[in-house]
Structure 1
Amino acid sequence: MYSPIDVKTSADIPVPAQMKAWVLGGPDELFLRDKPTPVPRRAEVLVRIDAVAICATDLEIIHKGSPARIQGGLPFNKNFTPGHEYMGTVAALGPEVDEFRIGERVSVEIHAGCGQCKRCRQGMYTSCLNYGKPEKGHRANGFTTDGGFAEYAVNHINTLVRVPDSMTDPEATLVVTAGTSMYGLTELGGLVAGESVVVIGPGPIGLLAVAVAKALGASPVILTGTRDKRLAIGKELGADRVVNIAQEDPVEIVKQLTGGIGADYVIECAGTEQTIAQAIHMTNRGGKICLAAFPHEPVTTDIAHLVRNNIYVFGIRGEGRSATHRAMELMAEKRFDATRIHTHTFPLADLPTALRYARERVEDAIKVVVTNREASMMASAAAE
């Protein structure tokens, strides 16, 4: 029986003492196990996970371990539950929590900063100086603390975004992806109406960066990549021009479309030496570049061009500065259809297959979603 002291529950949403969760064994090993259902503490709620999307970072964590442990020289985190792009239903409230009600549908941000370091006080909680230290109050679900490939997870109230009734469960899992795209535009200044924006790389973040930029009034919005099917989805999400870089020179095309001067903003979502060089040379003087991808190897690039042309470069991590809230508002108002990037759905029990589809891009998979409950799937279908 799940009845911890000072935690509020409801008979309408019974919570078991034990839950099913996928846990890491060794690298590339996942096992479905019984784990104690976690208990929310002060300023936390227990979320019954209804759906979770798979991110490329999940695949890296399953293969190599969490970034915080790798950087800290710690061993592979066995018994850890990954998964961070999830949504669900509030199932229990921590002590004195009254900001949310049991039964509310919520989507989640990944990061809850410690709330006390210099960066958190500046609102930069994805750059928390106590990153990876839960004893200091930091949480990054699916990275440093147990995540969403399970029946339940604990979340800080600051990470919760209410899901409107009109939105399906799978769509609600995409708010983190849209929020990351929104965060990139926020860090570039946010005022993109009438400005030219190039997005490099038609992955999930890149495609939704096109959608968010267009919803905010950017013009023209240009998307570059190598996969024609994904570039076509970019057109549907608002790209004014798409460029297959295997067939056209993206730097030249961008300059042609911007009167020869280059783009005001470039969001680089591919993370290769070639595409970073393209970003630098297609940005106009005084323009801004957001690096939203993680290069796997050190990159050599033309720093002198950045300096000579007073080009600003920003790196982002995750979905900071409450960008998910703004992204959710755009999605709720149907300013763009994030579900265009959702390609496959599997039950949580079939997570290994879902991961294979995401890893190997089976059937050109973009966003693969696993659903946790049959009832959740039925509710989503009814909403559609």
Structure 2
Amino acid sequence: MSKPAGIRTSADHPIPTQMKAWVLGGPDELLLRDKPVPMPGRAEVLVRIDAVAICATDLEIIHSGSPASILGGLPFNKNFTPGHEYMGTVVALGPGVDEYAIGERISVEIHAGCGQCKRCRQGMYTSCLNYGKPEKGHRANGFTTDGGFAEYAVNHINTLARVPDTMSDAEATLVVTAGTSMYGLTELGGLVAGESVVVIGPGPIGLLAVAVAKAIGASPVILTGTRNGRLAIGKALGADRTVNINEEDAVAVVKGLTGGIGADYVVECAGTEATIEEAIRMTNRGGKICLAAFPHERVTLDIAQLARNNIYLYGIRGEGRSAARRAMALMAEKRFDATRIHTHTFPLADLPTALRYARERIDDAIKVVVTNRHAATVASAAE
């Protein structure tokens, strides 16, 4: 294909002019369409997408529209391609890019902030003050700009992390999830070695929060939830104690394991009024709570309990402060096995079925991965 000046490609990785991409039709409608293959600009690369994991946020975007349309009050974007937890192969370099080579396997994080606002300069690019404004340089692939349910995508070099040869494609799609967990612990202070950590909710982020907390030395690490199968996975990922809240009082268990004072850190990954209130009651004086889930309704909380006990409450969005790269480092060193949460695999052409498994939790689906026809190293769920 012809390419703009300054873009480098390789005959080893031919690039078509058109690609297959899933796009929004109307709410809860995805259509497989032909789209032009995008070309990278300055500080960007073109990624041939080999595998992409499905996130609960993808399901929300397919139902409600992209955050750019929601935040900006714009019409439902009927040509938008969602999908943000993907990995692939670099096949073209934008003008001046020499940080990566064509043929390298990479994983991506979602957000590339504008790089110029106050929050981006602080490393909080997931809270970019120019969020949803590509003309200002902001990109959030699968959120505000086209994402990974396609054959190709353009990514800023700041969003890339190299994938080691020892890591399967499917595992590499989980770096964003682990990075979100890492970001939560970072915002709580980062130095969690020897500190007690409770994770509420054994979804993908909660399970990998257990793994990351244990990998960086937290003790004890306690996981609470309602499904014994998920709690068993949490145990395998490093939880010192699991609590089925239908069978035990989680607050009493946590206080019993912490000398009666409560936990130093709580990572709340369920997003309900009951679990947030529970987080407050199990945190010790001066402790910290990270809200890693988005409640879908207004919640009523005992704010006086927070104030009286000097408890800090943090919210996070995504995987800021280069947390995805730090999570990748732990995964590359096999400090934990993220593939324990990968349960199902489908081809990209069968994305609607994959989404149904994720939405309805068929066969207790946790992380569903869809693979592109190019991929040769993707691990199947049966392995």
TM-score where L is the length of structure 2: 0.98
Match of 2:375 in 1: 376
1:237 is matched with which residue? 237
Q: Is the 8 A contact 1:83 1:148 kept in 2?
A: yes
* Matches for 1:186-265 after TM superposition, within 5 Å: 186-265=186-265
1:279 aligns with 2:279: yes
Deviation per CA, 1:343-384: give whole Å up to 9, x if none: 0000000000000000000000000000012x5244657xx8
**1:343–1:366 contact (8 Å) kept in structure 2:** yes
Check the 8 A contact 1:371/1:377 in 2, yes or no: no
Distance in 2 (alpha carbons) for counterparts of 1:177 and 1:211: 11
Which residue number in structure 1 is paired with residue 142 of structure 2? Answer: 142
Residue in 1 aligned with 2:84? Answer: 84
Structure 1: distance between partners of 2:378 and 2:82: 25
Q: Do the aligned residues in 2 keep the contact of 1:47 with 1:90 (CA within 8 Å)?
A: yes
For 2:216 and 2:2, the matched residues in 1 are separated by 45
> Partner amino acid for 1:84?
H
Q: Please name the residue that 1:154 is paired with.
A: 154
- Tell me how far apart the structure 2 counterparts of residues 55 and 25 of structure 1 sit (CA, whole Å): 19
Q: Provide the secondary structure at the position in 2 that maps to 1:82.
A: coil
Deviations 1:306-328 (A, max 9, x none): 00000001100000000011100
Aligned to 2:345, the other structure's residue is in SS state strand
Q: Which residue type is aligned with residue 125 of structure 1?
A: Y
Deviation (angstroms), 1:71? 2.3
Matched, 1:171 2:175: no
| 2:170–2:378 contact (8 Å) kept in structure 1 | no
Match of 1:306 in 2: 306
Q: CA deviation at 1:7?
A: 1.0
8 Å Cα contact 2:51-2:378 kept in structure 1: no
Residue 297 (structure 1) shift:
0.4
Q: Which amino acid aligns with 1:142?
A: G
1-structure distance, mates of 2:5, 2:72: 35
Partners of 2:283 and 2:289 within 8 A in 1: yes
Matches of 2:68 and 2:277 in 1, distance apart? 28
Q: Match of 1:376, SS? A: coil
| Distance (whole Å) between structure 2 residues aligned to residue 314 and residue 211 of structure 1 | 20
* Partner Cα separation in structure 1 for residue 205 and residue 162 of structure 2: 21
Distance 1:68 1:279 in 2: 31
Q: Is the 8 A contact 1:2 1:16 kept in 2?
A: no
* Aligned partner of residue 375 in structure 2, secondary structure: helix
**Distance (Å, rounded) in 2 between the aligned partners of 1:67 and 1:184:** 21
Tell me which residue corresponds to 1:61. 61
In structure 1, C-alpha distance between the alignment counterparts of 2:212 and 2:70, rounded to whole Å: 33
Three-state SS of the structure 2 residue aligned to 1:261 is coil
Equivalent-residue separation in structure 2 for 1:163 and 1:54 (angstroms):
19
- Taking a change above 3 Å as real, the CA distance of residues 264 and 354 of structure 1, as seen in their structure-2 partners, is same
Kept in 1, the 8 Å contact 2:168–2:377? The answer is no
Q: In structure 1, list runs of 5 or more residues that go unmatched.
A: none
CA distance in 2, matches of 1:110, 1:253: 36
Matched, 1:107 2:92: no
Q: CA deviation at 1:4?
A: 2.6
Give CA deviations for 1:290-315 in whole Å, capped at 9, x if unaligned.
00000000110000000000000110
Letter of the 2:16 partner, please give it.
P
Counterpart-to-counterpart distance in 2, 1:315 and 1:236: 27
User: 2:10, 2:91 within 8 Å by CA — same for their partners in 1?
Assistant: yes
2:169–2:377 Cα contact (<8 Å) kept:
no
Q: What does residue 75 of structure 1 align with?
A: 75
- The CA deviation at 1:70 is 1.2
CA distance in 1, matches of 2:4, 2:282: 57
State the secondary structure of the residue aligned to 2:4. coil
SS for the counterpart of 1:210 is: helix
Alpha-carbon distance in 1 for matches of 2:132, 2:378: 36
Is the 8 Å Cα contact of residues 2 and 15 (structure 1) preserved in structure 2? Answer: no
What is the RMSD of the two structures over their aligned residues, measured on CA atoms? Answer: 1.0
Query: How far is the alpha carbon of 1:66 from its aligned partner?
Result: 1.6
Kept in 2, the 8 Å contact 1:81–1:149? The answer is yes
Structure 2 Cα separation of the partners of residues 363 and 345 of structure 1: 12
Give how far 1:173 is off.
Answer: 0.2
- Contact 1:197–1:265 under 8 Å retained in 2: yes
1:43 aligns with 2:43: yes
Secondary structure in structure 1 of the residue aligned to 2:357: helix
Cα-to-partner distance string for 1:204-263 (whole Å, 9 max, x where unaligned): 000000000000111100000001100000000000100011111111110011010000
- What amino acid sits opposite 2:319 in the alignment? E
User: 2: distance between equivalents of 1:211 and 1:123?
Assistant: 24
Deviation for aligned residue 1:73: 1.3
Tell me the equivalent position of 1:10.
10
Any idea what the Cα deviations from partners look like across 1:61-83, whole Å, max 9, x if unmatched? 00001223212211111110000
CA distance in 1, matches of 2:206, 2:213: 10
CA deviation digits over 1:117-165, x for unaligned, max 9?
Answer: 0111111100100000000000000000000000000000000000000
TM-score in terms of structure 1 length: 0.98
Q: How far off is 1:2 after superposition? A: 4.2
Letter in 2 for 1:211: A
